[in-house]
Amino acid sequence: MQFMLLFSRQGKLRLQKWYVPLSDKEKKKITRELVQTVLARKPKMCSFLEWRDLKIVYKRYASLYFCCAIEDQDNELITLEIIHRYVELLDKYFGSVCELDIIFNFEKAYFILDEFLLGGEVQETSKKNVLKAIEQADLLQESQNEEWGGLSEDIL
């Protein structure tokens, strides 16, 4: 996998993970183009499309689009299930995840993704094992009030 993007129906990017080295400018360009392309597609359309020399696999969950770019020989259906498994992981961790969870706890969304996918490849498919790793990390956290997030509420 070359990258994964999460964005809202309004086209707001919520999470980006790049597995190939690209400049910020390229990343922005790709994001803009892809968000447009995917949002323009109708609901019943196929989840796969060719884009440049990559294959895009995307799926919408509630207000969020999950969008992966894979290479020519990669398997589309299993990528679709990568997305689903990631959603399941988020769901389990946050307990019925919603877009706001990902906005305000973006770091958790990243940590879970890193346990599941690394370097663009599936690292661990067992839901239990991934969540166990995250929970262990959470235990290491000092018990302290999570106050740093004040900014985000103000903005939105």
Interacting residues with other proteins (CB under 8 A) = 12-17, 19, 21, 24, 42, 44-50, 53, 72-73, 75-78, 80-82, 84-85, 106-107, 110-111, 114, 118-129, 133, 136-137, 140-142, 144, 147-148, 151-152, 154-156
Q: Specify the residue, 36 or 152, whose C-beta has the smaller distance to other proteins.
A: 152
Q: Which of 19, 16, 44 is nearest to 34 (CA)?
A: 16
User: What do you get for the CA distance between the two ends of the chain, in Å?
Assistant: 32
H/E element, 68: strand 64-70
What's the sign of the alpha-carbon dihedral 123, 124, 129, 132?
positive
Rounded least distance, CB 81 to other proteins, Å: 5
Q: Which of 117, 107, 130, 125 is nearest to 18 (CA)?
A: 117
Supply the minimum distance, in Å, between the C-beta of residue 95 and other proteins: 19
The residue (of 46 and 95) whose beta carbon lies closer to other proteins is: 46
What's the closest the beta carbon of residue 130 comes to other proteins, in angstroms?
Answer: 9
Least separation in angstroms between CB 150 and other proteins: 9
CA–CA distances in Å: residue 27 to residues 13, 16, 24: 12, 9, 5
